[in-house]
Structures are given as structure tokens and as C-alpha cells.
């Protein structure tokens, strides 16, 4: 399994970081987690196209996690007509917005594009990847994803509630030791708030993602505190993690 971060920034792009989007590859299958930037140029740069994407999992409706859905759905409607990704959106009214946009720009949203609304619990299983959605308190319809594939477990936290997200939301998601990778946001609180839940149920690896500049120093402090027990990376665009 390989995870490539296309976009690792917080709500605002940084000079070298775009908004949230990650490519998950398991054997021959490819998936996107969040789509806060246009993923198509990144796919094409790597010799892929939207036709290669099996499913898209969006954590919540904020623009830094969804804005890339507009160009993605647009080009899947008029050019990559054989692309058949199953697109999980936190709210189906996103599809209405896409219909309006594509009606103006490219003649309409392709009828055969498949959308599903995310619900809490077991969400997806294609025999290669199993995805469970876990509600966070970031917004009304916001989710983390626990992904199981090839005998491994990877958590994407999505966004959590400011202030006590790590102690409340994160502690609920990670209830057993040894998940293989936790991809944890740090746009809404000091990273040191992860310390207690990380110590309660340490993952094998930690990747701090979606971190804002104001919490960067705390991210570095968390990394130096939990290592070497929990090897920790700060995500940057283009970072690849193999599990």
C-alpha cells in the first residue's frame, strides 16, 4: 500500500503545500482521500488519469477538502467519460452544486457519475479496501476514515473540533494499539494535545498532516517527544508513505 500526499496544507495553500488531497494505492487500485485541490494534473504527472480512480472519500464539505471536486467532475463529464469513480460526499447537495457548475461550463454533469452520501459505520468494501467512517465533531457532517487493506489499518482523521479534538475525537478513533499509520490533522489545536491519546494507544507510525503555521512548532515538539517510539513525519506535498 502506498499513500502519496498531493496536498498537505491546512485551509489556505502555502507556497509549497496545496489543500488536502491524498492518493491511496493498494495493489492495482487507486483511491483519493479528500479533494481540496484539482488532483487531475497530479495524476497525469504520474502517468494516471481519473479513469484509474476507483473511489473518492471526502471527509467534510469545507472547500479545502472539496474544491477540487469541481474540475474533477467537470473533466470526468466531458473528457474522461469512461472514468467510473464511486464518489463519497458528506452531503448530497454537493451534487446539486456540481450539476449547476457543469451545466454552465461543460454541458452538464455526466449522468453515470456515481455519488454516495457518507454515513457513519462500515461504508465501503470492494474486496481490496474496507473503509469505516467515524463521525468527528468538526462540522455537522464530518468524518474520519479508518481504512483496512492488506492486513493493515490506516486512520485519516479528517478535521476535528478545535480545542479538544485530539483528546475527544482522536481518542475515540484509536481504541487499540498498533494501527499501522495515523494521518492526523493539526490545523485546529496545539499538536501536543495528541500526546495523551497517542500514549494510550500508540500507532506504529504517525503522519501530521493539514498543519497550520501557528501550530508548526508544536508539531515539531510532538515529533521529538513521541520518537523513537512512534516514528513521525510532517506531511509535505509529494510525500510518499509505503506500508
Q: Which residues bind Zn ion (CB under 5 A)?
A: 62, 159
Q: Look at the block and give the residue holding cell 515529533.
A: 223
Instruction: Calculate the alpha carbon distances from 224 to 78, 122, 213 in Å.
Output: 49, 35, 18
The residue (of 62 and 153) whose beta carbon lies closer to Zn ion is 62
| Residue number, 12 or 44, with CB nearest to Zn ion | 12
**Furthest C-alpha separation in the chain:** 54
Cα angle 40-207-66, degrees, rounded to a multiple of 5: 35
Which CB atom, from 39 or from 165, has the smaller least distance to Zn ion?
165
Shortest distance in whole angstroms from residue 65 CB to Zn ion: 6
Give min distance, CB of 83 to Zn ion, in A. Answer: 27
Using the structure block, give the residue that is written with the C-alpha cell 487500485.
29
- Shortest separation between residue 169's beta carbon and Zn ion, angstroms: 13
The answer to whether 194 touches 220, Cβ cutoff 8 Å, is no
Cβ neighbour number for residue 170 with a 10 Å cutoff: 25
Give the single-character DSSP code of 17.
Answer: B
Closest-CB residue for Zn ion? Answer: 62
Smallest gap, in angstroms, from Cβ of residue 184 to Zn ion?
14
**Rounded distance between C-alpha atoms, residue 209 and residue 126, angstroms:** 27
Cβ distance to Zn ion smaller for residue 1 or 142: 142
Q: Considering beta carbons, is residue 43 or 133 the nearer one to Zn ion? A: 133
For 147, residues 6+ apart whose C-beta sits below 8 A from its C-beta are 24, 129, 130, 131, 153, 154, 155, 156
Taking the complex as a whole, how short is the minimal distance between the CB of residue 36 and Zn ion, in angstroms?
9
Amino acid at each position: 500500500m502506498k499513500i502519496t500526499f498531493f496536498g498537505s496544507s491546512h485551509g489556505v495553500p502555502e507556497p509549497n503545500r496545496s489543500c488536502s488531497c491524498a492518493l491511496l494505492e493498494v495493489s492495482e487500485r487507486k483511491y483519493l482521500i479528500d479533494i481540496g485541490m484539482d488532483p487531475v494534473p497530479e495524476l497525469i504527472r504520474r502517468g494516471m488519469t481519473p479513469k484509474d480512480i476507483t473511489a473518492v472519500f471526502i471527509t467534510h464539505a469545507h472547500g479545502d477538502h472539496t474544491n477540487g471536486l469541481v474540475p474533477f467532475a467537470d473533466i470526468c463529464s466531458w473528457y474522461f467519460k469512461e472514468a467510473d469513480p464511486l464518489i463519497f460526499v458528506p452531503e448530497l447537495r454537493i451534487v446539486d452544486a456540481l450539476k449547476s457548475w457543469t451545466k454552465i461550463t461543460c454541458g452538464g454533469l455526466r449522468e453515470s457519475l456515481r455519488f454516495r452520501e457518507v454515513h457513519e459505520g462500515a461504508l465501503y468494501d470492494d474486496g481490496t479496501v474496507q473503509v469505516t467512517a467515524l463521525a468527528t465533531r468538526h462540522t455537522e457532517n464530518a468524518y474520519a476514515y479508518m481504512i483496512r487493506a492488506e492486513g493493515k489499518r490506516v486512520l485519516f482523521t479528517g478535521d476535528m473540533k478545535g480545542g479538544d479534538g485530539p483528546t475527544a475525537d482522536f481518542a475515540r478513533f484509536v481504541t487499540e494499539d498498533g494501527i499501522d499509520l495515523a494521518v492526523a490533522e493539526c490545523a485546529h489545536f496545539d499538536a501536543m494535545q495528541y500526546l495523551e491519546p497517542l500514549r494510550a494507544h500508540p500507532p506504529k507510525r504517525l503522519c501530521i498532516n493539514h498543519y497550520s503555521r501557528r501550530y508548526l512548532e508544536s508539531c515539531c515538539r510532538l515529533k521529538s517527544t513521541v520518537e523513537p517510539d512512534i516514528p513521525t513525519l510532517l506531511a509535505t506535498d509529494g510525500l510518499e508513505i509505503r506500508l
